[in-house]
Amino acid sequence: MEVPSIVRKFYSYFPLHTYEGEVVKSAPNNPTLWVSPPTVPSSRLSGDIECLKWQTYLVLRKIPGVRFRYDIQPDGGVGGVLPSLHLPNGDFLSPSRIPLWANDTLQEPIDELEGYASSALRDESRAWVTLFEGIIHSALVSCSTWLLATSSQLDVFD
């Protein structure tokens, strides 16, 4: 369908300008987890509970060389949310793909126990995660400023 000339002439007075957003031009040297910035300036712990969960996961799994980046807007992550993991090969991973990547990085086989010593320990871990993401998560959101201020004194995240 062709636009009538009178309409084209009218629109010519209001040209449409588009501006490119900032594009990541190169891959990082180390795996980099993009997270929301801390609420306490001196802290390196994300102010977002979901981002903090994945920061903790990577640290506890002892993945070597992982860095954290705090200057990305939330809609800049995979699927428009943070956290996202930017790999040295240029790939971006959503949180659901991080555990598989961690297993590959540590060269741990994927088994039914998911790296736990026994099924009882695996089940206990799942129970804690469920509890954390449910009742405790809502409590942490209400007191996250205090938690992050206290946690920033622990020099865990390099």
Tell me the per-residue pLDDT of 9-44, one tens digit each, with 9 for 90 and over: 887 887 776 666 555 567 899 999 999 988 877 788
**CA-CA distance, 32 to 29, in Å (whole number)?**
9
Task: For residue 104, give the nearest of 89, 118, 119 by alpha carbon.
Answer: 89
Given this model, what pLDDT does residue 59 score?
Answer: 80
pLDDT by residue (tens digit) across 97-152?
998 898 888 887 666 766 566 788 778 767 776 776 776 666 666 665 555 555 54
Domains of the chain: 25-151 (3.40.30)
End-to-end CA distance of the chain: 59
Instruction: Label residue 69 by pLDDT band (50, 70, 90).
Output: very high
Whether residue 68 contacts residue 157, with contact meaning beta carbons closer than 8 Å, is answered with yes
Q: Residue 116: what pLDDT? A: 64
Q: Is residue 103 a contact partner of residue 110, using CB atoms and an 8 Å limit?
A: yes
